[in-house]
Structure 1
């Protein structure tokens, strides 16, 4: 069972295994149609496509009309229905990949763990690693059968905006922000019209989890870099702009042997939508 990362070589050895489900998670935050267009132009053999906006996210506003962030979690039953439509069973090995260092694939990795499915891994190095190994792409659109996955106890934890707010005064939990430094400081109005970060948060850009080759750093290096930031992982909260790239830091922590951190799904996009919540800028 692969539960964190898988190499292109190992995946190639199972590419025709009917018990494996491969999912293409490519996306562009500024161009939502880019991922599907890239998938149509060429994808891993047998891979299905996951739409971050519609299949891996839920309604942006709750029943009470309150904004929940740009990519809030879907209703768990809706996610199960989506996973079944991809042919995922209780014993399926799921592999997620993208072309962005795993920033979107890690979202699907975390979401499957959220519904209790442990057999999910991210293709280390993504599409680039697959092609660098001389492995072929396909333009054929596979037809998924109906799967039988069921909802089980979560393997991960989440926190709400209220939990994060309560933590600001007590300061017992570390909040780690996965956005780029300029967004954390509040200097990128194109992506974050309301700039800044949660008071007391630390910054660890998700791309810092990767080596020059676009693959994840090894476990020892990740542990050396992340452990001083998070302290006790069980007391750490991962967040980003909208709960997507925070999952990359969660994956890196898992690879490093530092499991247990929680995700704040609404992240900055939900947090800053309420002017009553405090914010900080700069470093």
Structure 2
């Protein structure tokens, strides 16, 4: 893979800061559900059609909730219809299977024929599942992320296909007194194991108060890592969020290499919402969808095409 010059990220960031600042000023947030049980803590695109659910590809998303009581919802399908209409359909967790506690992220599994996803809890438990055409969850495997330090609190996870290998990337959220930490490693289908390849400290300049340095992560097709960060003083807010291009994953010979951005400047600054979910939209426009966990205020999405 051709290396991207170090100045590329800095130049791209400067342009995006200007353009996206303009977009943020006119952002139209669309409410999804009210109440603390319906915050969106992760989102992933459904690439394949779920015909029996009336869910064309590219219009539906799997979202996760960070609930902890067994009877409360964990996973739902969010269908975006036009500019105004949203459909929310809760999915049933399979009977007799281990219940996830505190789901904080979800990623589409690239390179598979099925609608396959991995959802991750705050303490690193991974639930690999597929969806059939009716939206039924088929739980395939449960495993854990490797070598997590004590007091790790994860809020981001993604999967990126590079040179035919599946790279897993996950992030510890951090706090005002604790930096965020990014981890990455190769996923091996034999035994459902991830071999850690490296880590990097992530500290964002904004929000300044009550900060979670990493509230979600996604890697685009070019290997650029995007992170969201948030201000979270409690269930009633006030909330703020930012989005950053934090670095680049690429191959250096046979090894995966992460090069952090030379400086972090927000691509988006969002007041009044706690973004915990980020996903890329299909197509060449580079669009994104953001989902919020605004605690007692419920959840909203914003689509930027």
TM-score by length of 2: 0.25
TM-score by length of 1: 0.26
The structure with the largest helix share of the pair is 1
